[in-house]
Amino acid sequence: MTDTLHPDLETLGGAGGVEQRRVLVTDLPGPLSQALHARKTAAVAAGIGTTLPVYVTKAGGGILVDVDGNQLIDFGSGIAVVNVGNAAPEVVSRVQDQVAQFTHTCFMVTPYEGYVEVCEALNRLTPGDHDKRSALFNSGAEAVENAVKIARRYTGRDAVVVFDHAYHGRTNLTMAMTAKNMPYKDGFGPFAGEVYRAPMSYPFHEPASIKGTEAAMRAISVIEKQVGADRVACVVIEPIQGEGGFVVPAEGFLPAIAEWCTANGVVFIADEIQTGFARTGDMFAVNHEGVVPDLMTTAKGIAGGLPLAAVTGRAEIMDSVHGGGLGGTYGGNPVACAAALGAIATIEQHDLAARARLIENIMVARLTELQARFPQIGEVRGRGAMIAVEIVKPGTTDPDAAETSRVSAACHQAGLVTLTCGTYGNVLRFLPPLVIGEDLLREGLDILEGAFAG
Ligand code: PMP
């Protein structure tokens, strides 16, 4: 690994034949995308939203190609999924081989090696050298649900503790665990019970004097007073919050919460669904503070775009569940497992974690320059290729969601896919594929600068 992102996709095996260049041949969305979007509106339930109605026909590396022939730079990775890029060669070839062999038997009926191999890889890659087991599912929310089931079975306790700004999914239990009402929960209750919310460490919105350990004590006090330590089955936390606004807790917060869990027989569950698989510059975000969770949930980056999720953790906790207590028809589907093995091989062989750190260096340096010029950039934060800017009314920490939408829309018009997030809708987040070339990365940042300049 050199200290630049060059040489890029050539070394990484190509990008599925997609030229790594931004090309705009129409306004966005172009006429063919608009026609498809009219069909979407007539055929697809209105509740399924669209960030940017540009219809994709092909994608590779850091580029999305649309039906009108435009080529957009991808700073979204399909919400932190294609860490290895779209059409990563190892993913494509393994999936093609697998799909030609067999597509499904149901692992619970007649098993196959790929599932076992993915579990072995997860047990090896997740932190801690204790004995581990894994179980595979289809989506992040399903993994979180199962982690809670396992923690409850193991502890014989009911209560689940989550944090302000948390996002854990859209199923009934995970809606209860997710903090933000609109759009995730509004009108969808009643929600699952025995879910309690503790205050998060959110350094930008609190005095700098509050240390991570103090923020942890504040949360622990709420848990002890409002729930009772001996009623808590598990604490579930994103080491860096994703949908909640790329909130990086103050140093010391996560280790203190994890220690409290250990001292009180509470299962500490790290939700690494968005942060996992080299995204933050290490295989998992908990590694930055040496935290070893009892259980970890993973999804998104695990399988290069195919639907797969997992719970991995201490053997005695995982194996406390009776046979048949976990599972599902499709969980650990053989094609998804083949994709995961290809994605994991790509991440390891090409040290994509190191690449994520180089992306961080380039992005943070540039965004910090922009912060000095544009007073609406309140903070630049994140780790690896999970970087965000929080947009505020200049001179305050008051959120400015309208300015955030304006900047994001201007990026879209210029052919850069950006996403927003945050409880207050005022965080612009950047999640490029880890294989993105340096030229595209810098061009994306140029477009962002233009969008801020208005
Ligand atoms: N947890 C976290 C931290 C997430 O970011 C997400 C998805 N944004 C989920 C859970 C839910 O995953 P899925 O959409 O695959 O159900």
Distance 166 CA to ligand 1 centre (A): 10
Contact 426, 391 (CB under 8 A): yes
Domain end (from 323, 349, 375): 349
* Mean pLDDT score, 166-182: 98
Would residue 17 be called left, alpha or beta, if left means φ above 0 and alpha means ψ between -120 and 50 degrees? left
Q: Is residue 411 scored above 50 in pLDDT?
A: yes
Task: Specify the CATH number for the domain of residue 131.
Answer: 3.40.640.10
Distance 270 CA to ligand 1 centre (A): 12
Q: Best substitution site from 51, 81, 168, 284 to test ligand 1's pocket, by max atoms within 8 Å of Cβ? A: 168
Whether the CB of 68 sits within 6 Å of ligand 1: no
Q: Is residue 10 scored above 60 in pLDDT?
A: no
Mark out the alpha helices in 272-415 (DSSP H runs).
Answer: 315-318, 334-349, 352-373, 401-413
Do 335 and 366 belong to one domain? Answer: no
- Which are the contacts of 279, defined by CB distance < 8 A and separation ≥ 6? 80, 83, 285, 301, 356, 384, 385, 386, 431, 434
Domain end (from 331, 349, 367): 349
The C-alpha atoms of residue 330 and residue 307 are separated, in whole angstroms, by 10
Q: Over the stretch 188-239, which tens digit does the pLDDT of each residue have?
A: 999 999 999 999 999 999 998 999 999 999 999 999 999 999 999 999 999 9
Do 291 and 368 belong to one domain? Answer: no
Whether the CB of 139 sits within 6 Å of ligand 1: yes
Do 442 and 419 belong to one domain? Answer: yes
The reported pLDDT for the residue numbered 1 is 42
If you ran DSSP here, which 8-state letter would residue 139 be given? S
Whether the CB of 67 sits within 6 Å of ligand 1: no
* Mean pLDDT score, 273-277: 98
Task: Specify the CATH number for the domain of residue 57.
Answer: 3.90.1150.10
Do 205 and 59 belong to one domain? Answer: no
258 found inside a domain: yes
Q: How many domains does the chain have?
A: 2
The C-alpha angle 238, 436, 89, rounded to 5 degrees, equals: 95
Distance 229 CA to ligand 1 centre (A): 27
392 found inside a domain: yes
Do 296 and 320 belong to one domain? Answer: yes
- Which are the contacts of 204, defined by CB distance < 8 A and separation ≥ 6? 378, 379, 381, 390, 397
Do 428 and 380 belong to one domain? Answer: yes
Whether the CB of 305 sits within 6 Å of ligand 1: no
Whether the CB of 243 sits within 6 Å of ligand 1: yes
Domain span at residue 250 reads 90-349
Q: Which atom of ligand 1 is nearest to 309's Cα? A: 15
Do 189 and 54 belong to one domain? Answer: no
Do 331 and 387 belong to one domain? Answer: no
One-letter identity of residue 393: K
For every residue of 233-248, which 3-state class applies, written as one string? EEEEECCCCCCCCCCC
- Which are the contacts of 47, defined by CB distance < 8 A and separation ≥ 6? none
Do 67 and 205 belong to one domain? Answer: no
The reported pLDDT for the residue numbered 189 is 97
The C-alpha atoms of residue 25 and residue 195 are separated, in whole angstroms, by 50
Residue length, the chain?
Answer: 454
Mean pLDDT across the chain: 96
Residue closest via CA to ligand 1's atom 10 equals: 168
